[in-house]
Amino acid sequence: MHDLTSSFSLGVAASLGIAAVTTLWLSPCRADELGAPAPQLALADRDRPPANLTELRAQGPAGLDALSARFAAQHGGAMDPAWEAAFDTVAGQRYAAWSRLYWFTDLDRAKQEARHRHRPILALRMLGDLREDLSCANSRLFRATLYANTEVSAYLREHFVLYWSSERTVPVVTIDFGDGKKLVRTTTGNSAHYVLDDNGNVLDVLPGLYAPSVFRAELAKSVALADRVRGKPEAERVRETLAYHTAALAASERAWQRAAGVTYLAGTPYLHGPTALARAQRATMSKMIVEAPDLRAIGAIRPGELPADDGAAWSAIGQKLWDIHERPAPRGSAAAIPGTPASIVLDAASRDLVQQLHDAAGQRATPGDLAVVIARLEQHIVADTAINELVLRRAIRRQIIEQRETGFAALNRWIYDTVFATPSSDPWLGLLPRTDFTGLPGDGVVMP
């Protein structure tokens, strides 16, 4: 079987840059409560969020709708920190002012809501806390590139009950430069979206980060499966689920065959679709093309044989399979600046949140610099999509089929142990191998 340990979170690793580790302890999840009468929103202090955020949180999605309505009617301007915090509290998600998605943190409450609405559950399993800035890297990218996406967030609101839970706390990196400046980031963590029926049985799994258009399309297939098995006896539900994944495995094999002839620029930092490749090939006599990376093709190899760190190759595969390519940028936009690539994966809402996060702490980027950041992020996203769909998800589908495994606890344990290579039996998440001498007492370990 393919070694999966190096095949996940390509975009996360490439874009974040990680170092030594310490631990952040996060508060446990708060339970949601449903069924309380809808609170009346006071109209005093019109520009401030309401004080009854706990009551709104207890209302479930209706409470978030009420908060959104009040913001639109009484504030309506640019989002300020007080309102941003209010949305986070009621929704159970950091940066919920962009997504307007309500997340349950109690599975029984999520099941109750799913039965009431006749919907499947989209269950995010992650490291850390979705309400915190320092949740795992994948969950942070989900918030900025998936949940903030206008079409994706609308689809999630209309078709799913949302629930998140934490696999474990996330390791936090702190680099102190000794002059008051610090870098604080996280390392070693992956996340998966599970599609569950209203009894908590697994119907489908999407591991890691996906391009928004692919994420939505794959979830639509899962919704169709959920509709087919709703109310069916267990044996029929399992049979339908196994048939769904058997057909999907065959489809992914055909997809890989379509990708076999893809040509790409090795080592390039940007997405390159057919248009960019044609420009490069026409310039073969120029000094620029002599100094450019080699033009290469995906040969007749298996997905597991392509190195996970060949981001340009995986990105080219993703572009081919899901028709992701450069389109003309709107006149006057940052991406229209000569020499910068167009944004082809993220929508305007996601780019707005990416810019806010990128420019925080006084680290403002020029429009040209921001366009480069977004282009690189988009390449990582498309590359991750291809790896997750053609390598990790195929392994998960085989496990479901061969083991007839549709229980969340057992399948989630196998995924974190085998696919994500972060078994619960290792308290150090692979970060303390004890194989190389560091010159530090106990390799720098500090115990509680």
Q: 265 with 238, same domain?
A: no
- Closest listed residue to residue 88, CA positions, set 73, 78, 99, 77: 99
Instruction: Quick: pLDDT tens for 329-343.
Output: 555 554 444 444 456
- CA dist 224 to 1, 119, 244, Å? 30, 11, 10
Q: Confirm whether 399 is domain-assigned.
A: no
For residues 68 and 98, give the distance between their C-alpha atoms in angstroms, rounded to a whole number: 11
- CA dist 421 to 6, 21, 22, 279, 303, Å? 9, 18, 20, 41, 19
Contact between 345 and 211 under an 8 Å Cβ cutoff? The reply is: yes
Contact between 264 and 315 under an 8 Å Cβ cutoff? The reply is: yes
Q: Confirm whether 414 is domain-assigned.
A: yes
Q: Confirm whether 394 is domain-assigned.
A: no
* CB-side neighbour CA atoms (13 Å) of 81: 1
Q: 246 with 264, same domain?
A: no
What does the angle CA 142 – CA 147 – CA 152 come to, to the nearest 5 degrees? 120
Number of domains present in the structure of the chain = 2
Q: 341 with 249, same domain?
A: no
pLDDT at 12: 36
pLDDT at 365: 87
Q: 145 with 19, same domain?
A: yes
Q: Which residues of the chain have pLDDT under 50?
A: 1-44, 274-292, 334-341
Question: 82 in helix, strand or coil?
Answer: helix
Contact between 173 and 22 under an 8 Å Cβ cutoff? The reply is: yes
For residues 303 and 286, give the distance between their C-alpha atoms in angstroms, rounded to a whole number: 34
Helix (H) or strand (E) run with residue 156 in it: helix 150-159
pLDDT at 328: 55
The structure tokens 């590139």 sit at: 145
Contact between 229 and 371 under an 8 Å Cβ cutoff? The reply is: no
Q: Confirm whether 265 is domain-assigned.
A: yes
- CA dist 349 to 77, 227, 284, Å? 16, 30, 38
Q: Confirm whether 402 is domain-assigned.
A: no
Residue type, 397: R
Q: 268 with 198, same domain?
A: no
The 8-class DSSP code of residue 334 comes to G
pLDDT at 17: 33
Q: Confirm whether 173 is domain-assigned.
A: yes
Q: Confirm whether 161 is domain-assigned.
A: yes
Q: 251 with 266, same domain?
A: no
- CA dist 71 to 59, 76, 79, 100, Å? 17, 6, 9, 12
Instruction: Quick: pLDDT tens for 386-420.
Output: 999 999 999 999 999 999 999 999 999 999 999 99
* CB-side neighbour CA atoms (13 Å) of 281: 11
Residues 6+ apart with CB under 8 A from 295: 263, 264, 265, 266, 277, 280, 281
Q: Confirm whether 432 is domain-assigned.
A: no
Q: 362 with 412, same domain?
A: no
Q: 55 with 148, same domain?
A: yes
Q: 412 with 344, same domain?
A: no
Q: Name the residue range of residue 239's domain.
A: 10-38+51-256+407-419
Q: 15 with 145, same domain?
A: yes
pLDDT at 331: 56
**Predicted model pTM:** 0.84
Instruction: Quick: pLDDT tens for 171-196.
Output: 898 998 999 988 898 887 899 999 99
Q: 271 with 203, same domain?
A: no
Q: 250 with 284, same domain?
A: no
